[in-house]
Amino acid sequence: MPDNEQRTIGEMSIDTRCLIERLEKVAVNETITYDELTALIGRDVKVKARHLLDTARNNMLKRRILFGCVQGVGIKREDSQGAISSAEQRTKNIRRSVKRAVTHVFCAEFEELSREDQNRMMATQSHLGALALALKPSSVKLVYDKVTSSAGLLPTVETLALFQK
């Protein structure tokens, strides 16, 4: 593509394609270094070309292939256990984010808000309260115990019912 032509948003860059082709060859539990990926495309994937690596990793996710970060080293293709551990860690991160959001909402002075904003505040508090309840370690254990005893995936309605007890 000549320098004066621009790609449309839907088109993937050649560098991203090169990264995807390399990531496809990474074995389960194998780590590929940032240095190798940087050398592959001639741009630093930790800084200026991070978006290209992120796009490549997202493309791999669509194929159910997960890469986790090995801090300061590179990315590792996760096995099934690693995928579950990653999801559990993200759940813990979400719980912390919910707690912080609750403190942000409580910084608002209810009486200073318009009726519309008061409704938004109460709706936000209600949503955050439900999320906080579902993400508590005791709630996570309730779901785990129920799944273990029923030996199957719980429908959302049944999961929510666990929190009403």
pLDDT exceeds cutoff 90 at 165: no
Contact 66, 60 (CB under 8 A): yes
For residue 78, give the nearest of 61, 55, 53, 91 by alpha carbon. 61
- End-to-end C-alpha distance for the chain, whole angstroms: 62
Q: Convert the pLDDT of each residue in 13-43 to its tens digit.
A: 999 999 999 999 999 999 999 999 999 999 9
Instruction: List the structure tokens of 69.
Output: 């970060």
Instruction: List the structure tokens of 6.
Output: 């621009």
CA distance 130 to 127: 5
The whole model's pTM is what?
0.76
pLDDT of residue 20: 97
pLDDT of residue 55: 96
pLDDT exceeds cutoff 60 at 141: yes
For residue 120, give the nearest of 102, 107, 104, 105 by alpha carbon. 105
In the chain, where are the structural domains located? 14-77, 80-162
Strands lying side by side in the sheet with 67-70 = 31-33, 74-77, 67-70
CA angle, residues 47, 48, 54, in degrees to nearest 5: 75
CA distance 29 to 32: 10
CA distance 41 to 27: 20
